[in-house]
Amino acid sequence: MKCLEKGLVAWFTGLPASGKTTVASLVKEELSKAGYRVELLDGDWVRKTINVGAGFTKEERERHLLRVAWIARLLARNGVIVLCSFVSPYRDVRKKIRDIIVEEVPFLEIWVKCSVEECIRRDPKGLYKKALRGEIQHFTGISDPYEPPENPDLVIDTERDPPEKNKEAVLNLLRKYGIEV
């Protein structure tokens, strides 16, 4: 096991079904094989375990994501590489997340770019169909906005590039922070 004095937080942001967790999972697998301590905090898992009942209004999302930021910071300051996979649609909330984390460890914003049309086509959970029928309120990309990052540390295009290529792009970014894989 490779023990880092301090880890870092790589925050994957993008529309629902853009491929955030798919790429983050591949990155986690590579980092784990290389002997690093790594955690993947995924929106669905956090909402089922740590933050049960978290809602989807802007205020509820902010409260939910700031809690995640504190957890990620705590893990990272203890030598864990933390991969966070959350829609996190609002720029101002992502700035607050960054501000919390960079007090102690590096924060990397990774924009998982994918058109809403492609996300609707993928729709693995059928959520876009429900949102388009009006059955889900505050659904990012349909009834709520997604504000793309203005200066992300990395943009990966999951509509054009396969998951393996996007994984390599993330690993190349991590190498700049001394993570050898």
Catalogue the active-site residues.
88
Amino acid at the residue 61: R
**Count of CB atoms within 10 A of residue 144's CB?**
17
State the residue for tokens 């990966």: 156
20 phi, psi to nearest 5 deg: -55, -55
Q: Distances in Å between the alpha carbon of 39 and those of 6, 7, 9, 137?
A: 14, 11, 10, 30
Burial string for 31-64 (b: 16+ CB within 10 Å, else e) reads beeeebbbbbbbbeebbeeebeebebeeeebbeb
Q: Distance (Å, rounded) from C-alpha 75 to C-alpha 31? A: 16
